[in-house]
Chain A
Amino acid sequence: MENASSPNLSSLDFASSPINQALSSEKKIEHYRQMCQIRRFEQAALKNYSKKGTMGGFLHLYIGQESLAVGASSLMGEHDHMITAYRCHAHALAVGMGMNECMAELYGKATGCSKGKGGSMHFFAPDKNFWGGHGIVAGQTPLGLGLGYGLKYNNLHGSALCFLGDGAVNQGAFHESLNIAALFGIPVVYVIENNGYSMGTSQKRSSAYKDCLAQRADAYDMDWDVVNGEDFYEVRAKMNIAMERARKEYKPTVLEINTYRYYGHSVADANHKKYRSPEEIEKYKRDHDPINLWKQRLLSEGVLTEESAKEIDSAAKKEAAASVTFAEDSPAPTIDDITKDVYWETDNDTEASKIGRHFFND
């Protein structure tokens, strides 16, 4: 399965891989539900974003890429950790964060997952092994390395899944991370979510490469693979191999998962229909939508019926609508809240925090 030179790679059916054979019908349906929830959540966010006075700042939508975050999270165990960039809503929901706390964060409310202090790009849930949500392109790649370092330091057999976009592969921090990951033997999996565009610049206009981006791992003597992101089974199968390599061998991997986003880089991306054709977008929606393809797969397996699929989707839509109401009804943070959560010591009112002045507002 790992043999990249196999001419029949594209025709392989990853449903037969052991990790997918072990997937129960309940779990298959659950993952369909998660993908629907993520899409409905983001659609609700987008719908309300334009309403005056609801949300500020950016809104980077993941719509079209749902199989990646859900595929990865479906494999996470106690010692597997996840970190990503600013397109983070899906990862947050996939690891089990609730729609309410996420929507409230978009609305800048005190009930948000970051108490309204992080916003769209900065969702965190350390209790679910999810470490953000990071705004600077590739800035999270050394942090992902550090999560892997922490696992190894504590003699734990886990993996650190560090997501990045195809636009992040040209940042120095990423290359520094790859070098150290290979040099130190860090159990990190770098997952390039390749949606073809770094903001408005296509891959061909932004990256120098031979066959693919993940191939750069060769330079660091690191394992790598390319994944067809629209196939949920393939995402899981290949991701599992990389995670097992991390867990069992303390070795890093670069995975490049080909995917597509239907919307712009962010909602503020006014040009997203100019740097790519409407036909291109329509083609993906029609032929490559990961949720629809997973649904078709489950229908053909007899795991799901059209009716139950519809029920799952409308329940997700309802849940998203309820999260909007929750967010709207929630209180905003107070001005006093601005200087909380800056220092651990002052938040915890420790002896150390009482010595010297920490804040300088006059």
Chain B
Amino acid sequence: MREIEYRDALNEAFDEELARDQNVVLMGEEVAQYNGAYKVTKGLWEKWGDKRVVDTPISEAGFIGMGIGASMLGVRPVMELMFWSFHSVAFDQLVNNAACCRYMSGGLINVPIVMRGPANGGTNVGATHSHTPEGLFAAFPGLKVCSPATPADAKGLMKTAIRDNDPVYVMENTTLYGNLGHVPDPADGDFTIPLGKADIKREGSDISLIAHGASVLRCLEAAEILQNEHNISAEVLDLRSIRPLDQDAIIESVKKTNKACLVDESKPFCGVSAQITTLIQEYAFDYLDAPIKRVCTIDAPAIYSPHVEPEQLPNAARIVKQVLTIA
């Protein structure tokens, strides 16, 4: 199977969906003529033109609200936040208008938008540009959230997100955009991955490492070390989708390994891993041989210092250390 970069997998998803549905419009800052701040939308403006690929001013509340309004009349906007961190200046649009219009209208309206962009730390850009809000947005009923770790998942989930009739917030990652991975050839047919379906990225029997986004890759590195140096067989479960959530896959894995370490780049307080913890204790309490452990981003705003930031985030060494306390 061919290998392509994460960013190109996304690009392919957009290109295919632009071709499939004439109501799909890409919007955002620098997505068109500049080819995207991270080249994720490279070449699409040239191919699809001004109507389908639209540069917006730096005006997140304005253009995101505009996309939500347009979606009520059948447009399907796929909108980029150059950083998901910029959600804060458009918060009202994202959590009131996108998430609640359907409900407040008694189901008369739906908002088929995609919000996307990178949500990650690890690039030394300081606290304002390093937020990981997947848990935050998953806490709003009406929204769906996913966070792909591999090029194939990025493409498959993005295509599904665009076709979904509810607002879907896709959290990408600047540190993953250049990663290569196997992605099925478009010639082999339409490739999608459903929301709400987790994926076992590595089979194991002694402990479940449960993660999403870039943390999945950190878990895979840790699993390798655990196997080679400690003879511990770790299973790596990639959630892929935060809401809807594949609870069955989580519980099944924990029932098999009887131990869980949750790895989550969001902050520990009420983050995604906090929700997973409560589900495991509710549905797999009797199967646990040890307390549930977590490796999250150290609980402070993102530090700038390139010397320290890698240690603030979940990494293989921190995961191994935490696993060894229970395995």
Count how many pairs of residues, one from A and one from B, have CB atoms less than 8 Å apart in the complex: 192
A142-B61 contact in complex given A131-B72, A345-B165, A352-B194, C-beta closer than 8 Å: yes
Tell me whether B96 is interfacial, beta carbon within 8 Å: yes
The answer to whether A341 and B69 touch across the interface, beta carbons within 8 angstroms, is no
Q: Which residue, B51, B66, B105, has most C-beta atoms of chain A within 10 A?
A: B66
Interface check B34, CB cutoff 8 A: no
Q: Which of A112-120, A225-233, A235-243, A246-254 contacts B (4 or more CB under 8 A)?
A: A112-120
Interface residues of A in 125-145 (CB under 8 A from B): 125-126, 131-136, 139-145
B243 surroundings in chain A (CB, below 8 A): 356, 358
State in angstroms the CA–CA spacing of A154 and B92 once bound together.
Answer: 27
Stretch from B107-115, B261-269, B304-312 that touches the partner: B107-115
A107 at the interface (CB under 8 A from B): no
Partner of B104, one of A118, A183, A339, A355: A118
B68 touches A122 (CB 8 A): no
CA distance in complex: A131, B102 (Å): 11
Cross-chain contact A122 with B195 (CB below 8 angstroms): no
Q: Give B179 Cβ to nearest chain A Cβ, in Å.
A: 25
Contact of B66 among A83, A149, A342 (CB under 8 A): A149
CB distance from A171 to the nearest CB of B (A): 9
Q: Is A347 interfacial (CB-CB < 8 Å)?
A: yes
Most chain B Cβ neighbours within 10 Å, of A145, A151, A153, A177: A153
A153–B51 alpha-carbon span in the complex (Å)? 8
B27 closest partner in A (C-beta) = A149
Q: How far is the CA of A134 from the CA of B243 in the complex (A)?
A: 26
How many residues of chain A have a CB within 8 Å of chain B?
60
CB pair B105 A357 closer than 8 Å: no
- A37 CA / B150 CA spacing, docked (Å): 59
Asked if B69 and A355 sit within 8 Å, CB to CB, the answer is no
Please give me the residue from chain A that is nearest to B54 by CB atom. A184
Could you tell me the distance between the alpha carbons of A118 and B279 in the complex, rounded to whole angstroms?
A: 31
A146 touching B65 by the CB < 8 A rule? yes
The docked-state distance in angstroms from the alpha carbon of A348 to that of B107 is: 10
Residues B194 and A150 in contact, CB atoms below 8 Å apart: no
Which residues in A have their C-beta under 8 angstroms from that of B69?
83, 131, 142-150, 160
By the criterion CB–CB under 8 Å, are B62 and A179 in contact?
Answer: yes
- Residues of the B chain whose Cβ atoms lie less than 8 Å from the Cβ of A345: 164-166
Chain B residues positioned under 8 Å from A358 (CB to CB): 196, 243-244
The reply to whether the CB of B41 lies closer than 8 angstroms to some CB of chain A is no
Report whether B93 and A139 are in contact in the complex, using a CB–CB cutoff of 8 Å: yes
Complex alpha-carbon distance, A140 and B66, angstroms: 10
**Cα(A115)–Cα(B103), bound, Å:** 9
Indicate if the CB atoms of B110 and A344 lie closer than 8 Å.
yes
CB distance from B134 to the nearest CB of A (A): 15
CA distance A348 to B110 in the complex (A): 12
Interface 0/1 of B51-67, CB less than 8 Å to A: 10000110101111111
- Determine whether B49 belongs to the interface, using a CB cutoff of 8 Å to chain A: no
Q: Return B75 CB to nearest CB of chain A, in Å.
A: 5
Per the bound structure, the CA–CA distance linking A134 and B101 in Å amounts to 9
Interface positions, chain A 195-242, Cβ under 8 Å from B, are: none
Q: Give 25 pairs: A residue, B residue, CB < 8 Å, sorted on A.
A: A81-B73, A83-B69, A124-B109, A126-B72, A132-B101, A133-B105, A134-B97, A139-B97, A141-B65, A143-B68, A146-B71, A146-B75, A147-B72, A173-B65, A180-B62, A342-B142, A343-B102, A345-B164, A347-B107, A348-B165, A350-B165, A352-B164, A358-B196, A358-B243, A358-B244
Question: Hey, which bits of chain A sit against chain B, CB under 8 A?
Answer: 81, 83, 112-118, 122, 124-126, 131-136, 139-151, 153-154, 160, 172-173, 176-177, 179-180, 183, 339-345, 347-348, 350, 352, 355-360, 362
Other than the given A142-B63, A151-B73, 12 more pairs (CB < 8 A) read A132-B101, A132-B104, A134-B96, A146-B70, A154-B75, A176-B59, A176-B61, A345-B164, A352-B194, A355-B194, A355-B246, A360-B279
Sorted nearest first, the 4 A-B pairs with minimum C-beta distance are A356-B196, A146-B69, A142-B65, A150-B73
